[in-house]
């Protein structure tokens, strides 16, 4: 839980010349950008710009045909999603992906699975080291539940929760992994103003308390401009701008892409 003091400037993840195609459809073409430690990095762009594809490449759901992804200074070619998770990359999904049959608590506990190291034998008897480990993880998860203010739905099956709370549980599960890099795919989609403000607060607090680096996709421009340190803009699978919110907002190509102005 100790917050490693964020040292912005050091590169955590760098994406270099990524191209991804599904058959003849080019989702991403030669995209490069980097994410620095402790910053909030937004990826924006119109629908179908390739934002989610970009996140899927980073966490190993998709394997780009070209380009390099360097994480923590190590370049990787092929990486499976569970390997990405082991290296500290957690994520949430655009269309919520929770374990519907489980309670809020159990959902968040799954985020601790990778950290459960006690051998099989002890777990079967639920005794000794296994019990201690379980208690330790439960304590951590309770911390997250408190942090996200979802104590009252601890035991509720998530399928029954309203949309906004489900999104919060999903964030909780990702946080339980104590990720170094957190990928958020439209964390505020479909929320009302109040829920959005809560979520913004949580995201800022995550960075402050846990020292997590965040890359997020978001459509709400107000939110993006307020939250993020730097913004990369995609359109039709290509990068069209990269910089601080103010720089991006003033960029001619970005305005064109969003307003659909022809030349």
Residues 68-107 contacting another protein, CB under 8 A: 80-82, 85-86, 90-91, 93, 97-102
To another protein, the closest distance from the beta carbon of 220 in angstroms equals 23
Among 38, 111, 211, 245, binds another protein (CB under 8 A): 111
Query: What is the length of the chain?
Result: 263
CA–CA separation, 35 vs 9, rounded Å?
A: 9
To another protein, the closest distance from the beta carbon of 17 in angstroms equals 25
Among 26, 30, 34, 61, binds another protein (CB under 8 A): 61
- Beta-strand ranges (E) seen in the chain are 11-22, 25-36, 40-44, 66-71, 74-76, 89-91, 181-185, 213-217, 230-235, 238-243
Q: Which residue has the tokens 């599960």?
A: 173
CA–CA separation, 89 vs 167, rounded Å?
A: 18
Per-residue contact flags (x/-) with another protein for residues 29 to 58, judged by CB under 8 A: ------------------------------
Among 37, 51, 168, 173, binds another protein (CB under 8 A): 173
To another protein, the closest distance from the beta carbon of 161 in angstroms equals 11
Strands 181-185 and 89-91: parallel
To another protein, the closest distance from the beta carbon of 252 in angstroms equals 37
Q: How many residues bind another protein (CB under 8 A)?
A: 31
Query: SS3 for 45-66, per residue?
Result: CCCCCCHHHHHHHHCCCCCCCE
């Amino acid at each position: 839980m100790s917050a490693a003091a964020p040292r912005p400037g050091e590169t955590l993840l760098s994406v270099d010349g990524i191209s991804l195609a599904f058959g003849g459809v080019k989702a991403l073409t030669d995209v490069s950008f980097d994410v620095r430690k402790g910053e909030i990095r937004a990826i924006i762009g119109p629908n179908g710009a390739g934002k989610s594809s970009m996140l899927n490449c980073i966490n190993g759901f998709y394997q780009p045909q070209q380009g390099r992804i360097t994480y923590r200074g190590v370049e990787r070619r092929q990486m499976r999603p569970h390997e990405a998770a082991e290296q500290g990359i957690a994520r949430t999904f655009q269309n919520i992906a929770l374990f519907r049959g489980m309670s809020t608590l159990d959902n968040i506990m799954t985020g601790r699975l990778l950290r459960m190291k006690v051998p099989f034998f002890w777990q079967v008897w639920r005794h000794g080291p296994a019990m201690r480990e379980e208690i330790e993880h439960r304590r951590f998860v309770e911390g997250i539940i408190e942090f996200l203010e979802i104590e009252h739905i601890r035991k509720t099956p998530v399928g029954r929760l309203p949309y906004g709370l489900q999104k919060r549980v999903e964030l909780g599960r990702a946080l339980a992994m104590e990720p170094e890099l957190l990928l958020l795919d439209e964390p505020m989609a479909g929320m009302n103003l109040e829920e959005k403000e809560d979520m913004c607060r949580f995201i800022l607090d995550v960075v402050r308390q846990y020292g997590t680096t965040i890359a997020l996709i978001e459509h709400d421009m107000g939110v993006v401009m307020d939250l993020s340190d730097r913004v990369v803009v995609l359109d039709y699978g290509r990068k069209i701008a990269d910089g601080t919110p103010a720089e991006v907002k003033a960029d001619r190509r970005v305005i064109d892409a969003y307003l659909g102005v022809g030349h």
